[in-house]
Amino acid sequence: MGELYVVGIGPGAADEMTLRAAETLRHAEVIAGYQGYIDLIRPLFPDKEFISTPMRGETERCRLLLAEALGGKHAAMVCSGDAGVYGMTGLLYELAEGTGLEINVVPGVTAALSGAALLGAPLGHDFAVISLSDLLTPWETIEKRLDHAAAGDLCIALYNPASMKRKDHLSRACEIILRHASPETVCGAARNIARPEESFCLMTLKELQDYQADMFTTVFIGNSQTRVIDGRMVTPRGYTERNK
């Protein structure tokens, strides 16, 4: 029996990958992943055998890699960001159950963290991470999570805010959050994090309703204390108030 690793490669740039992640991939004989992620790392590891499947091919991709590991190879599954945050780690554990194969998880920098660093410090206090994709989670459940997070005055990082089939989900999410938050709440969006087209912008919650996000965007909604400092989104934790 070989070895199986699940590796978070961060937002995509080579210098955003952890040293442990890079070393794990150098050690691997076969690397699997979504085609877009394979395209990002192929130039760094040109001598490897690669397995890729398109979007929605997650189960097939995991089964193919499991077969390689069970056959004796050092195998690695790559995921963008962190492999355990909306990644393949959980699915691999489910599929490998009962095989005796040990799964080694290598953490990475998830989009909530890399996007927050680009915007400033929007997650300086308690926060929630919520995906707006209803492919695997009913929209009614997503609505409930948004409502409770906003009622608790949590900062919120939104993954998968929009796609070709979900153009209005971000606007609908803003409507829910506006039940509890001011229209002037500071928000931000980070797009193509750590890639050549990287960009970010700040706006109010009311303006976010009309913002045209896509699958390469991570959206940040501040809490009642979040403010703009020198062009950056900052959520204070309260140190300055305590020291007055």
> Which pLDDT tens digit goes with each residue over 94-144?
999 999 999 999 999 999 999 999 999 999 999 999 999 999 999 999 999
Work out the average pLDDT over 150-174.
93
pLDDT grade for 244, boundaries at 50, 70 and 90 = low
Average pLDDT, the chain: 94
Q: Which residues pair with 198 in a beta bridge?
A: none
How far is Cα 116 from Cα 131, in angstroms, rounded to an integer? 16
Kind of pairing, strands 232-234 and 227-229?
antiparallel
Q: Residue 62 pLDDT more than 80?
A: yes
Q: Residue 242 pLDDT more than 70?
A: no
Phi-psi sector, 204: left (phi>0), alpha (psi -120 to 50), beta = beta
Q: Name residue, tokens 């490897």.
A: 48
pLDDT at 167: 83
Helix/strand/coil for 134: coil
Domains present along the chain, CATH in parentheses: 3-109 (3.40.1010.10), 112-234 (3.30.950.10)
> Which pLDDT tens digit goes with each residue over 73-83?
999 999 999 99
> Which pTM value belongs to this model?
0.93
SS in 3 state form for 38-50?
A: HHHHHHHCCCCEE
| Degrees to nearest 5, angle at CA 235 with 229 and 236 | 90
Query: What are the angstrom distances between the C-alpha of 88 and each of 3, 57, 81, 105, 115?
Result: 16, 11, 11, 10, 21
How far is Cα 100 from Cα 122, in angstroms, rounded to an integer? 42
